[in-house]
Amino acid sequence: MDDVKVCNPPAYDEIGVKALYEKVVEQPTMTKYFPNKWPKGLQCDKAYFYNVWNTIHPDQVKAAIQYANEQRFTVSDEDAR
């Protein structure tokens, strides 16, 4: 537990477990921490998902959160009109 890098990302759809699970878990360094299949109607716990991902690939988590923030807080030309 001392090695776990706890992460509490914002609740944005674009960086939710449902949106990122397949891309993150298919990495060779991540597969051993997640099951191959979830029971119907269930998905991975967000806290567990992000804590494991942030412990192994903190740079990827930081980039994903930064990207989501940029998408949410950047005004496009069409929005400015």
Locate the domains of the chain by residue range: 13-73
Q: What is the pLDDT of residue 71?
A: 84
| 16/18 Cα distance (integer angstroms) | 5
Dump pLDDT digits (tens) for 10-55: 999 999 999 999 999 999 999 999 998 889 989 999 999 999 999 9
pTM (predicted TM-score): 0.83
| 44/66 Cα distance (integer angstroms) | 22
pLDDT confidence band for 76 (50 / 70 / 90)? low
Q: Hey, what are 60's tokens? A: 């990827």
User: Cβ(68)–Cβ(19) under 8 Å?
Assistant: no
Residue 32 phi, psi (nearest 5): -70, -10
| Residue 79 scores a pLDDT above 60 | no
